[in-house]
Structure 1
Amino acid sequence: MPGSVIVREERAGEVARPVPVRWVWLAAWPVTAVFVLSNAATPLYVLWQRDIGFSRGTLTVIFAFYIVGLLGSLLVSGVASDRFGRKRVLLPALGLALVACAVFATASTVPALVVARLFTGVAVGAVVSAGMAAVTDVAGPARGRLAALLASCAMVFGAGLGPLLAGVLSETLPGPTVTVFAVEAVLLALAVLAVARAPLARPAPGTGAWVRLPRVPRGDGGLLIPGVAVFAPGITATSFVLSLGPSLLSGLLGTTSRVVAGALAFAMFLSATAVQFAVRALSRRVILLAGAASTAAGTLALIAAVRTSSVLALVACALLAGAGQGMGQLGGLSLLNSGVAPRRLAEANAALNVGGYLPAGLLPVSAGYLSDAVGLTTGATVFGVALTALAVAGGVAVLAGGAAGSRRVVLP
């Protein structure tokens, strides 16, 4: 059937009927909608800092509670999605994301911001495991590479659209926080409709603990390690720009414009989206090596930006960091889609993201408190040196990863 994906075998963990191609794109929408929420608060922190009053260290702790919620969710959501089905994980996650919108819209204390970020992290954890696996389910085996590209781009595009949308709406419309999260609630409601109607896979029976550190099936470690080694430094770099980028902009430009802060984050994730389309025909090993190199170059640009007060270097840092995350993410997801069985794919996606988000939560928080103690220039420099070393180590891990990294990522 033209324009369709035909999956002939009716097995648990796979879609067992013809699926129009448009559903592959629609299946990616919940990923985009939740990731819009994940970073929508970024340009608004200057407002909350002004009205509530808290330090850069507290800001990174608020940001880190998102990581806490995400990692806690990943311990459960991947396994639950593979056993119960994608919808039974995604629909409650989208409901929790709507609650997070309401808390953000009315937040007037640090604990409220912490709760909102925690709920957001839980929703994102469900989406990066169950949501990305749902895209692969709908696409079917014949379009696994397309599924990896769309799921990855949905994540980074949503992550970039959130701060840009929030920056523009909060500067141009009254009631900035309420307006931003009311619009996001509409996007989430559309995602609920997409999930409710999507032709998702039937759950597969499973054994073992429900709450556990996500992992790939025995023998598939070679599909996970190279992706984690590159994705982790990349997403740590973008997390730093998201959490402390507005402070850097304020110091370098003397501006607290929410549009400028949102535009910087959008440019970073637009870079992450565009680079994935640009490199999709390269081998996975080349994509991962390029991702590691881009992250290393981005952190060196960060050091240059804070030591020379260069806005251009800060922009270069954001673009290179975004490209590094994008290529690490695409390479990691493509490796998993190439060899992990559908019935274990959500848990494998969760494992990739646990490996990525752990340093993304710990290192920026450390950099934030170090910056409070010794100044933003020294704190960012130490962070940049450490992350450059991690990115180089990631490249070395890919080179040592064997043949798994050399399979090609060519879309049909």
Structure 2
Amino acid sequence: MSETRTSTVQAVDERTPTGAEKPDHRAVAPLWWIWLAAWPVTAVFVLSNAATPLYVLWQRDIGFSKGMLTVVFAFYIVGLIGSLLVSGVVSDRVGRKPVLLPALALALAACLIFATATGVVALIVARLFTGIAVGAVVSAGMAAVTDVAGPERKRIAALLASCAMVFGAGLGPLLAGVLSETAPAPTVTVFAVEAVLLVTALVVVLRMPVRRPQVRAEGAWVRVPGVPRGNGRQLLLGVAVFAPGITATSFVLSLGPSLLSGLLGTTSRIVAGAMAFVMFLAATGVQFAVQRLRRRTILTAGAISTTLSMVTLIVAVHTSAVAVLILSALLAGAGQGMGQLGGLSLLNSSVPPQRLAEANAALNVGGYVPAGILPVSAGYLSDAVGLTSGATTFGVVLMALAVIGGLVVLSTRRQVTDPA
């Protein structure tokens, strides 16, 4: 009797207008709810890169170097990784909504700070807040999509969560580029529009049909996120390909406008935003294209794409070829997309729900650490030896990491042969 009662209580939604019981977790939610559950991920990731085309304005008005620009960008990584140390574990223990709602509030605060920024410190704080919000979303938000989808639709959940992330990441700079060129108060209008998107995401989270956790993990609340015993190999395989891919796209986001300025002689924010958008559009489209392939094939293709991205980046900066630079961005987006999809699919298929948010956090920590360190290093190196030499060095290093990631996947068969 007591066990039945406990199960019934745990099936209650975290917050509902009536306090009514929700169906058992195994009940299938409508497909549209899975898509809608991915919207908060998209909305927060729009913010994550919305500032990209605006840095040229802030550099002009405030005055700071390419090295300082990458530091501002890196504080996003600092906030994100700090958030990942907490948000995944907390989400698995107390639920998705108690993590997502404060994250969305923090994202709204970041919008306000961006819109009123008059110095580098304000930009750093706004990027820090953005990183914290993104860290919560990539752990709790992406796990919430899987929760809504249910155990029978883990593949579509991994696909939609991953695509929501990369589509939002690409939509942000495009929206910012267009609005900042065509609307008044360019650094204000962009974040006012984004605030509206975040409010709609807040409504979605409040109504989202997810429950409190039935089984709570043990251990410290703040820790380096990990995976259950026996799932370390899946995490390693995902990080091996995802990390070089997201580092490549991070480089394009942080120094892409400077490269375009050097190659094209233009500071058009629409062009910079469009390049970032097509990069992440490629990341979105390629995931739909390869979703039915085997995980090993997806991960191998992701490593190859990132490698080719670095080859074309080196060619672009030495030949001043804009078309080759855009090709490099497209390949970088495809590499991140396939690495992300392959990693999430491996974790979704093997990690129990009560550890899934933490596992997602672990994957992203593994990806974002090099994505923060290497572009910052490239930015300061570019200040010292020139953009061409700095970009070339970055390309060679990341190419080596992508090749190593591909070799790791090829050397491991058993964990990645099932359909994605």
Q: Same fold (TM over 0.5)?
A: yes
Structure 1 pair 117–385 and aligned structure 2 pair: CA distance change class (3 A): same
CA distance in 1, matches of 2:270, 2:37: 30
The equivalent position to 1:255 in structure 2, one of 266, 269, 274, is 266
| Aligned partner (choices 367, 376, 400) of residue 356 of structure 1 | 367
Q: Does structure 1 residue 227 correspond to structure 2 residue 238?
A: yes
Give per-residue Cα distances to partners, 1:370-405, cap 9 Å, x unaligned: 000000000000000000000000001111223111
1:337 to 316, 341, 348: 348
**Are 1:134 and 1:201, in contact at CA under 8 Å, matched by a contact in 2?**
no
Partners of 2:254 and 2:417 in 1: how far apart? 35
Alignment of 1:235-384 (within 5 A): 235-384=246-395
- 1:21 shift after superposition: 1.4
- 2:18 alignment counterpart: none
User: Could you say which residue in structure 1 is the equivalent of 2:186?
Assistant: 176
- Identify the match of residue 54 of structure 1 among 45, 61, 64: 64
Structure 1 residue 351 displacement after superposition: 0.3
- 1:198-218 CA-to-partner distances (Å, cap 9, x unmatched) read 001322322100110000000
Identity %: 75
Match for residue 128 of structure 1 among 138, 149, 174: 138
Give me the whole-angstrom Cα distance separating, in 2, the residues matched to 1:273 and 1:19.
24
Q: Is the 8 A contact 2:217 2:355 kept in 1?
A: no
Question: Contact 1:224–1:336 (CA<8 Å) still a contact in 2?
Answer: yes
**What corresponds to 2:88 in structure 1?**
78
Further displaced range: 201-210 or 75-84: 201-210
Matched residue SS, 2:225? coil
Q: Which residue of 1 aligns with 2:116?
A: 106
Hey, what's the Cα distance between the residues in 2 that align with 1:159 and 1:31? 10
Alpha-carbon distance between aligned partners in 1 of 2:31 and 2:177, rounded to the nearest angstrom: 34
Distance 1:363 1:63 in 2: 12
Give how far 1:63 is off.
Answer: 0.1
Amino acid at match of 2:419: R
Aligned length: 401
Question: Displacement of 1:369 after TM fit?
Answer: 0.2
Q: Match of 2:32? A: 22
CA spacing shift, 1:12–1:214, aligned 2, 3 Å: farther
SS of 1:19's partner is: coil
1-structure distance, mates of 2:383, 2:25:
52
Structure 2-normalised TM-score?
0.94
1:268-309 CA-to-partner distances (Å, cap 9, x unmatched) read 000000000011111000000000000000011100010111
Conservation of the 8 A alpha-carbon contact between 2:47 and 2:130: yes
CA–CA distance in structure 2, aligned partners of residues 202 and 162 of structure 1 = 32
State the alpha-carbon separation in 1 of the partners of residues 28 and 244 from structure 2: 39
Q: Is the 8 A contact 1:16 1:201 kept in 2?
A: no
Report the more deviating stretch, 198-207 or 317-326.
Answer: 198-207
CA distance in 2, matches of 1:372, 1:20: 52
Deviation at 1:17, TM superposition (A): 3.9
**In structure 2, how many angstroms separate the alpha carbons of the residues matched to 1:268 and 1:254?**
21
C-alpha displacement of 1:100? 0.2
Q: 1:110: Cα distance to partner?
A: 0.2
Task: Assess if the C-alpha contact under 8 Å between 2:299 and 2:339 holds in 1.
Answer: yes
Shift of 1:245: 0.2
Q: What letter matches 1:250 in structure 2?
A: S
- Contact in 1 for aligned 2:247/2:367 (Cα 8 Å): yes
CA distance in 2, matches of 1:82, 1:166: 34
Contact 2:108–2:198 under 8 Å retained in 1: yes
CA RMSD of aligned residues (A): 1.4
Which digits, 9 at most, give the CA deviation of each residue in 1:127-163, with x for residues without a partner? 0000000000000011000000000000000000000
Q: Is the 8 Å Cα contact of residues 27 and 150 (structure 2) preserved in structure 1?
A: no
Contact 2:180-2:186 within 8 A present in 1 as well: yes
**CA apart distance, 1:341:** 0.2
SS in 1 for 2:143: helix
Residue type matched to 1:300 in 2? V
* 2:51 aligned residue: 41
Cα drift, residue 96 of structure 1: 0.1
Per-residue displacement from partner, 1:56-112 (whole Å, max 9, x unpaired)? 000000000000000000000000000010000000000000000000000010000
Distance 1:181 1:336, change over 3 A: same
Q: Which sections of structure 1, spanning at least 5 residues, go unmatched? A: 1-7
Structure 2 gaps, min length 5: 1-7, 14-23
> Alpha-carbon deviation of 1:18?
4.1
Distance in 1, Cα, partners of 2:375 & 2:28 = 45
Q: Kindly state the Cα deviation for residue 15 of structure 1 after the two structures are TM-superposed.
A: 2.9
SS at match of 2:98: helix
In structure 2, the residue matched to 1:63 is 73
Which residue of the partner structure matches residue 207 of structure 1? 218
* 1:144 equivalenced with 2:157 (yes/no): no
Moved more, 29-38 or 399-408: 399-408
Aligned counterparts of 1:405 and 1:371: Cα–Cα separation in 2 = 39
* Structure 1 position 405 matched with structure 2 position 416: yes
* Residues 147-162 of structure 1 mapped to structure 2, 5 A cutoff: 147-162=157-172
Distance 2:236 2:181 in 1: 43
1:219-256 CA deviation, whole Å, 9 max, x = no partner?
11121111100000000000000000000000000000
The partner residue of 1:96 within 92, 106, 119 is 106
